[in-house]
């Protein structure tokens, strides 16, 4: 805990004495530390692909000059390093945009079923390439929430992409949408989006930290899968902006379920 203590002399007609003020600045120090950690992380994440790119450029200018096979191979690796930097910059921009308008609650009418089937449709090729089956279970009647359609699409995309990436080959990712006329956590009507995989599960010690920026259980695996470590941080901020809740339940060896609980309009 950090305090700033100020002492001043007070003289009035009635009395004189000293005024001692204690100001708790722990939260300010913590915020400062978090900002410094974040900048250090971003620099590290950008420098790694940049160093690789520079190494390959030097090799192409020197030892591998004029070798068409080496050039082709190195150019392929250089492209994937550049794509990694692009993904990181894209996620950083999304994160800063969501943070900037987190106080303003979005008010468009979003049809969640439509949003989920759209995301399911566009991720089908990704799932197929990973040999993962996508199972959508959506209600017949529309479920409408006040929200930002692009941001809710991003939440669904990030969660489903993760379930495909970490769920494992030959497994199924279950995507569901239900409603609750009176959700306890929101004290009102809610829409609940669930994304469940049949992967190895997540150890309970990691769960509270998963939505921190750049927190990964296995950094090597995340990078190999093209992850930036920012996906769940973005999800968390978007859910906060919608005044919703994010719940993560996981059982080792069984799989993981992410649940997004959003305030909804009362259902007919
Ligand atoms: P990344 O880009 O690394 O996937 P995320 O913020 O999306 O970053 O996720 C953070 C970490 O949470 C991942 O690195 C991974 O270790 C873990 N994770 C996320 N989703 C799942 C899942 N469905 N199953 C197992 N682990 C997961």
Nearest CA to ligand 1 atom 27: 166
Q: Whose CA is nearest to atom 23 of ligand 1?
A: 163
Two tokens, residue 187: 């004290």
Where is pLDDT greater, at 153 or 70? 153
Give percent above pLDDT 90 in the chain: 82
Question: Tens digit of pLDDT for each residue in 98-126?
Answer: 998 899 999 999 999 999 999 999 999 99
Cα–Cα distance, 147 to 239 (Å, whole number) = 10
Q: Give 162 Cα–ligand 1 centroid separation in angstroms.
A: 6
Write the pLDDT tens digit of every residue in 120-144.
999 999 999 999 999 999 999 999 9
pLDDT at 268 over 80: no
Alpha helices for 68-136 (secondary structure H)? 68-100, 112-129
Q: Which atom of ligand 1 is nearest to the CA of 223?
A: 3
Residue nearest to atom 3 of ligand 1 (CA): 229
Determine the Cα–Cα distance for residues 197 and 119; give it in Å rounded to an integer.
Answer: 16
pLDDT in tens, 60-111: 999 888 899 999 999 999 999 999 999 999 999 999 999 988 999 999 999 9
By most ligand atoms within 8 Å of CB, the mutation choice from 231, 235, 260 for ligand 1 is 231
The torsion angles phi and psi of 216, rounded to 5 degrees, stand at -135, 145
Supply the pLDDT for residue 184: 87
- CA dihedral 230→234→235→237, nearest 10 degrees, is 140
> Which candidate, 213, 208, 215, places its Cα nearest to that of 250?
208
As a whole number, mean pLDDT of residues 37-65 equals 93
**What pTM, to 2 d.p., does this model score?**
0.89
Burial track 93-111 (b if 16+ CB lie within 10 A, e otherwise)? ebbeebeeeeeeebeeebb
* Atom number of ligand 1 nearest to Cα 233: 6
Q: Is 216 in the pocket of ligand 1 (CB under 6 A)?
A: yes
Query: Is ligand 1 within 6 A of the CB of residue 56?
Result: no
Between these two residues, 148 and 220, which has the higher pLDDT value? 148
pLDDT at 224: 85
For the residues 47-53, what does the mean pLDDT come to?
94
Q: What is the rounded average pLDDT for all residues in the chain?
A: 94
With a 6 A CB cut-off, is 229 part of the ligand 1 pocket? yes
pLDDT digits (tens, 9 = 90+) for 6-31: 999 999 888 899 999 999 999 999 89
Nearest of 136, 119, 227, 207 to residue 173 by alpha carbon: 136
Distances (CA, A) of 125 to 115, 122, 164, 266: 17, 7, 11, 35
In terms of Cα–Cα distance, which of 141, 137, 178, 111 is closest to 268?
141
- What is each CA distance from 54 to 74, 179, 239, in whole angstroms? 11, 52, 39
Ligand 1 centroid – CA 236 distance (Å): 13
């Amino acid at each position: 805990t950090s305090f700033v203590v100020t002492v001043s002399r007070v003289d009035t007609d009635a009395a004189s004495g000293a005024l001692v003020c204690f100001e708790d600045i722990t939260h300010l120090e913590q915020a400062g530390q978090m900002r410094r950690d974040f900048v250090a992380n971003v620099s590290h994440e950008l420098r790694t692909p940049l160093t690789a790119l520079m190494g390959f450029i030097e090799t192409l200018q020197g030892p591998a000059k004029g070798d068409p096979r080496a050039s082709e191979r190195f150019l392929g690796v250089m492209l994937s390093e550049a794509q990694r930097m692009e993904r990181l910059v894209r996620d950083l921009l999304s994160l800063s945009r969501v943070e900037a308008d987190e106080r303003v609650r979005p008010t468009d009418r979003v049809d969640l079923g439509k949003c989920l089937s759209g995301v399911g449709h566009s991720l089908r090729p990704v799932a197929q390439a990973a040999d993962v089956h996508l199972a959508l279970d959506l209600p017949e009647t529309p479920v409408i929430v006040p929200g930002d359609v692009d941001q809710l699409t991003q939440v669904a995309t990030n969660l489903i992409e993760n379930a495909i990436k970490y769920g494992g080959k030959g497994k199924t990712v279950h995507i569901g949408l239900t409603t609750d006329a009176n959700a306890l956590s929101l004290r009102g009507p809610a829409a609940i989006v669930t994304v469940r995989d049949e992967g190895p599960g997540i150890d309970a010690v990691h769960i509270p930290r998963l939505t921190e920026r750049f927190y990964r259980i296995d950094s090597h695996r995340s990078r190999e899968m093209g992850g930036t470590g920012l996906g769940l941080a973005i999800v968390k901020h978007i859910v906060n902006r919608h005044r919703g809740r994010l719940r993560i339940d996981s059982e080792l060896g069984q799989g993981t379920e992410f649940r997004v609980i959003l305030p909804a309009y009362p259902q007919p």
